Structure 1
Amino acid sequence: MTTLESQHTTTGSDSPRPLARLSADEISQVREILAGADLVTPTTRFVYVGLDEPVKAEVLAHAAGEAPAPDRRASVLLLDVTTGVASENIVSLNSQSLVSCTPIDNATGQVPILDTEFEIVMEFLAKEPRWAEALAERGVDVAKTVTVPLSAGSYGYENELGKRIVRSFAFVMNDEKDLPWAHPVDGLCAYVDISTPELIDIIDYRQYPVPAESGDYLDPEIAGEPLTGLKPIEITQPEGASFSVDGEHVEWTNWSVDVGFDAREGLILRNISYLDRPVCYRASIDEMVVPYGDPSPNRFWQNYFDTGEYLFGRYVNSLTLGCDCLGEIHYFDVTLSDEQGTPKVIANGICMHEEDYGTLWKHTDLFTGTSEVRRQRRLVISFFTTVGNYDYGFFWYFYLDGTIECEAKLTGIAFTAAYPEEGSDYQSHVAPGLGLPYHQHLFNARLDMTVDGVANAVDEIDAVSLPVSDTNPWGNAFTAKTTRLTSESQAARSADASVGRTWHIVNTEKTDRLGHHPGYALHTAQTPKLLADPSSSIAKRAAFTTRELWVTAYDPSQRYAAGRFVNQSDGSDGLPAWQQADRPIDGEDIVVWHTFGLTHFPRSEDWPIMPVDYAGFSLKPYNFCEKSPVMNVPPSTAKHCCAHE
């Protein structure tokens, strides 16, 4: 494995690009400005610090040389951990001043949960007599348990209104190497007010035996002897990588893209262009939720918004300690704020490299006798984040033929429960007394499209079979049905594998020599949407999961599919609320939101460590090019190919 020197977040000039990530110096400046405004006390924590992105039109005007650079600003969420009082703050880095400070109404949603608050809850429960008593009744010593505080959701409980609530499970950890996920203390759950802290309620509806079998997947007695017979695979690029990097800006063959990162969304890709033509202004995973399907009294509330409730970008892995990429690798460091407002650098947080991807095109011609083949290649930009028991990798692929693909990789440890003796309709039995509850992983990709410009529209394309008729006497005909989505009220759409449904994002102002409007086609995986009942709390709070496609008019304030403040939200913010405006989306500056994911009925092979599972989608050029863009790809000349007879 070869690595290239990490690059910083700005260009070689003194000023960062308008959308460049905040630097460590800028994060320090933000803290100083807020402290100078008397907004930072000993109990204040910085929940989120990120770029307050300028309006798209201002950025594009500046890029065209038609306007000065927009004011560079930071967005900061502050929380007093003793009172639960929170505020949203905008800081100008140009003028070194506080622009605004807006209190957050906890009645409709709260700021994400902090690591500090998890620690508060764990320390509190370790000393809480009623919690210790409930554990002792199960023969469990509180000193040998770990507490797992989790986001509470919103269920209308009067004693929780306006409070910062978590719900906590216990797991037994017999020693420092014992995997606690293998030993759930089930039938028991604590409801805790973080700010007080106070035990609001204990749900103690059933006592299960604590599963005893170890889940240590690093123990040779459990994992087995090391697998033999695997010969090394070496990926070499003796002439170096094919891409070039200038700060956050990447050039690779016909592609260019800016690489960003955010504590909430993780990896952000900006200004994506192909053949020197814009395709997408901004692409990210703006939200994800993991709803569970077990209705047990202590588990019915389980659903986690790893983006909006936990800010999964904060947990980005440093790939210095473990990188699954091969070849000539370029790393980007990630600079974030800690909860004290101090900058911290995660070395090698983003990985970029090239991969061979098999055959690009091939033909042996019957008449001319020519036989040619070219190999596909892709640029990979990725990061991994660990949120509790699960590890998520997000990989964006750029192909020679203009295809963009996004792939989520899911691994780690599936959440555990005690498996009932009578069996369960909502869990898989994977070890003696141990179950893995059924659940879904549902992601939303926010795709701020600019296909050949900002005047875009979305066409829904269905394959349609035609009945026998005078024009179709043999019944073999089929065609494509195109439906233009003209307003937001039309633009909450479901996938349909029976008609091979795709959605084409097209430029409405430009045409090629044949009259085609250049476009990009969204291809979905056709997997189940949210399986919870439409009347459920999670269906309201995660309404984006009820459709695969949403289209909205561009609005810089509408960044997250489930709304700005997801923790304990009431579901009043997000895509359905925005679409009530019913703005026009035909030939407008639009944002495409795509929900994708997988439904997990765990298997024995998923325990105790889960092999990677996948979910994703692709964007393919459709009449974006007037002819095949890969005819000029040269033949491969690998020096290390060998065939054994």
Structure 2
Amino acid sequence: MTATTPQVRHPLDQLSGEEIARTRQVLVEAGRVGETTRFPSVLLLDPPKAEVRAWSDGQPFSRRVVAVVLDIATGAAAEAFVDLVAGELTEWRELGAEQGQPAVLFEEYDRSADLVRADPRWQAALRRRGVEDLSLAFVGPLSPGHFDYPDEKGRRVLRALTFLRDHVDDSPWAHPVEGLLAKVDLITGEVISVDDVGDVPVPAEHGNFDAAHVGTARTTLKPIEITQPEGVSFTVDGGEVSWEGWRFRVGFNAREGLTLHRVEFAENGGEYRPIANRASMAEMVVPYGDPAPWRYWISYFDAGEYLLGKNANTLKLGCDCLGVIHYFDAVVADDNCNPVTIPQAICMHEEDYGILWKHTNILTGAVEVRRSRRLVVSFFSTIGNYDYGFFWYFYLDGTIQLEAKATGVVFCGSAEPGTTSPYAAEIAPGLMAPVHQHLFCARLDMEVGGERNTVDEVDVVGIPTGPQNPHGNAFTTTTTPLASESQAQRVADATKGRSWIIRSADSTNRLGKPRAYQLMPHVGPTLLAQPDATVSARAAFATKHLWVTKHTDEQRYPAGDFPNQHPGGAGLPEWTKADRDLVDEDVVLWHVFGPTHVPRPEDWPVMPVDYSGFTLRPHGFCDRNPALDLPDGAKGCAHCPPGQCGCGH
């Protein structure tokens, strides 16, 4: 096991602790920091692509930061742009409430909970329900959405639901208090309202799943050992990773978490060719489908409102990661712009993945088979009750896959035991889990074979019986270039095997065809809320499986920079109004995917992982199968004489 602590050696390295501290110092010296100043986010701005391409080791490079600054006494917010090399504040942009609110501060969770707990109306609501020990009640503050209510206009607001516990270590999610909702103004400290309706009993059954509550662990599983006696096949140099034809850089920031940069692949030991300039999980929304007053407003933007990276886990060997592991630490800014290190935030390792290719010659009986292996780069983030893992896989045949793993504890309300509802499933006695979605949006700044790319939509279609298809058996593909941003807002279609091919205008394969990569969607529903729902305006990106835009440095997040309390329309719907040309351009793909969760009893008390994702695979990017030279495991290993393998492989 090894670990890497960030040190700035490359323009694409993540922010270091020293740089975060320097950002604060620059703003202090500029007179922009007082006792009530907080920092909802501090993010590195990617340098211009031309600068990165032209840079070589040892040369100076730019480092620019955008810090969101919030005065918790007045609610005034601004973006501060800091040049770390010059040590200067270069721009200060005041933010209006109509632009949305900055992300939620960690300290605001406790502040809002304390305000609710001190409110006599909330206390009376619990005592009316027979709760005497209020100290065991848990108040869960949540982002409020946007509904243009008069008592919320211009205010920084959280809504808060209440859960009970039987003891301090009890899971509160098993005991929701139905019909109790508080609303807090975080700036004035006012509890705007406390709604207390109904007398639904609080579910009594606990939802704990630690060893002490589950009981004796099964003993029937035999050990599986993962060993690499000669070490790993990858190398790490700062943030750069090289592995079996792959080369890329690992980054991290407080909003997106893990980022990948300058992704390249070399076929059979040849030259490295670019695939993507940058790839990340740019946003996700979790809209709930329950119209009840206590849940209709729930639509979390876990990157833009809560910050996926700031909530990253420290990963543990033997639990989160198996094998010979290389860890990367991450550094983020806390609410006061002080650096905080998240040890072992990113896990990287190799794992076996079964058969890569195989053939048995029926004439000679000769067998050729090669095993697949993949390099895994991952991180996990916990946002309240849910846990999300994001796993990037790199395969020996040039394939890239992103897998999102949703687990944790489902968010529930309560009802009389035996209640049925079209919007929620009873998963334990009296415990109702609403239908909801987890819609992720990956940002893929592609650079397949060079900077100039075009995206084609490819469908597999049958040909009507007739002169071109006299026997009715023929089918073929249709290819439609997505020539402009208005044309490049697409929905996947599994009945047509729809995929999208990103082809190069700068590089051709040995057949004279453009080198290309194919985006293979794993199809699921897009946003199911009605078009006139406020979440449809705020999460418009989730209404399509694919958007393609022309690259612009400032266009980073599909729901805009500030989705918290934003009225909607920011991000992709705003940018694509320009309807820019996309043929042979520097393009960015925004791909939406994720599970629509209809809960079941098996999801309680902790949810087995729900998998979703997509695949990027070479489509003429290589001249032939790039994994022909793998060692033949059937004939021994790579370093023993044929037929004389004595190393135990």
The TM tier, using the shorter chain, reads: over 0.9
1:356-392 CA-partner distances (Å, limit 9, x unpaired): 0000100011234321100000000001111100111
- Name the amino acid aligned to 1:212: A
Q: Residues of 1 paired with 2:601 and 2:509: CA distance?
A: 54
The equivalent position to 1:419 in structure 2, one of 396, 415, 420, is 415
**Where does residue 185 of structure 1 map in the other structure?**
177
2:67 equivalent in structure 1: 76
Query: Is 1:447 the equivalent of 2:444?
Result: yes
Report the Cα offset of residue 640 of structure 1: 10
1:256 to 244, 247, 254: 247
In the other structure, the counterpart of 2:600 is 603
Q: Which amino acid aligns with 2:451?
A: V
Cα offset, 1:346, TM superposition: 1.0
Determine which of 122, 138, 144 is the counterpart of 2:136. Answer: 144
- Contact 2:315–2:321 (Cα < 8 Å) also in 1: no
Distance 1:58 1:303 in 2: 38
Alignment equivalent of 1:54, drawn from 25, 47, 62 = 47
Q: How does 1:520-535 map to 2 (within 5 A)?
A: 520-535=517-532
Change (3 A) 1:382 1:609: same
Q: TM-score, normalised by structure 1?
A: 0.96
Aligned AA (2:244): T
2:335 paired with 1:339: yes
Aligned to 2:401: 405
Any idea what the Cα deviations from partners look like across 1:433-486, whole Å, max 9, x if unmatched? 111111110000000000011100100000010111123111110000000011
Cα-Cα RMSD: 1.8
Cα distance between partner residues in 2 of 1:587 and 1:304: 36
Post-superposition Cα deviations, 1:462-511, rounded to whole Å, max 9, x if no partner, equal 00101111231111100000000111010100000110000001102332
Partner of 2:269: none
1:72 and 1:443 map into 2 onto residues whose CA distance is 29
Asked if 1:105 is matched to 2:79, the reply is: no
Please show how residues 472-487 of structure 1 align to structure 2 within 5 Å.
472-487=469-484
Deviation at 1:553, TM superposition (A): 0.2
Partner Cα separation in structure 2 for residue 545 and residue 315 of structure 1: 23
C-alpha distance in structure 2 between counterparts of 1:640 and 1:589, whole Å: 52
Give secondary structure in 2 for the equivalent of 1:580. helix
Residues paired across the two proteins, number: 633
Q: Which deviates the most, 383-392 or 52-61?
A: 52-61
Cα distance, 1:178 vs structure 2: 1.3
Segment drifting more, 538-547 vs 419-428: 419-428
The answer as to 2:551 corresponding to 1:557 is no
Tell me what 2:323 maps to. Answer: 327
Q: What SS does the corresponding residue of 1:314 show, helix, strand or coil?
A: coil
Measured in 2, the distance between the counterparts of 1:207 and 1:535 equals: 32
Q: Deviations 1:155-194 (Å, cap 9, x if unpaired)?
A: 0111111110111000011211211111100111111111
Q: 2:159 aligns with which of 153, 163, 167?
A: 167
1:507-526 equivalences in 2 (<5 Å): 507-526=504-523
Corresponding letter in the other structure for 1:513: R
Measured against aligned partners, the alpha-carbon deviations of 1:91-110 in whole angstroms (never above 9, x if no partner) come to 11111111111111112311
CA contact (8 A) 1:259 1:269 kept: yes
Comparing 183-192 with 54-63, greater Cα deviation is found at 54-63
Aligned to 2:568: 571
Letter in 1 for 2:564: N
Q: 175, 182, 195: which is aligned to 1:203?
A: 195
- Using the TM superposition, give the Cα deviation of residue 62 of structure 1 relative to its aligned residue in structure 2, in angstroms: 2.8
Q: 2:537 aligns with which of 526, 534, 540?
A: 540
Amino acid of the structure 2 residue aligned with 1:309: E
Cα deviation, 1:565-591, whole Å, max 9, x if unaligned, reads: 110011121101100000001100000
TM-score, with structure 2 as normaliser: 0.95
Contact 1:107/1:161 (<8 A) preserved = no
Q: Distance in 1 between matches of 2:262 and 2:184?
A: 44
Deviation at 1:22, TM superposition (A): 1.1
1:349 and 2:340 are equivalent in the alignment: no
AA at the equivalent of 1:418: S
Q: Which runs of 4+ in 1 moved over 3 A?
A: 320-323, 637-643
| In 1, Cα distance between equivalents of 2:518 and 2:305 | 32
Q: Residue 128 of structure 1 is aligned with which of 100, 116, 119?
A: 119
Q: Say which SS state the counterpart of residue 35 (structure 1) adopts.
A: helix
Q: Output the CA distance in 2 between the equivalents of 1:40 and 1:228.
A: 58
Against the structure 1 CA distance between its residues 438 and 322, is the aligned structure 2 distance closer, same or farther, given a 3 Å change threshold? farther
Q: How far apart, in 2, do the equivalents of 1:546 and 1:640 lie?
A: 57
- Please report how far the alpha carbon of residue 9 of structure 1 lies from its aligned counterpart in structure 2 after TM superposition: 2.8
Q: CA deviation at 1:227?
A: 1.0
Instruction: Return 5+ residue gaps in structure 2 as ranges.
Output: 267-271, 638-644
Preserved contact between residue 7 and residue 246 of structure 1 (Cα < 8 Å): no
Q: Does 1:223 align with 2:187?
A: no
The letter for the 1-side match of 2:223 is P
Q: C-alpha separation between the residues in 2 aligned to 1:214 and 1:406?
A: 35
Residue identity (%): 50
Contact 2:450 2:507 in 1 (8 A): no
1:372 aligns with 2:368: yes
Matched-pair contact (CA < 8 Å) for 1:381–1:397: yes
| CA deviation map 1:223-271 (0-9, x unaligned) | 2431121111110000000000000000001000100001000000000
Match of 1:316 in 2: 312
1:591 matched residue in structure 2:
588
- The structural deviation recorded for 1:513 is 2.9
What's 1:32 paired with? 25
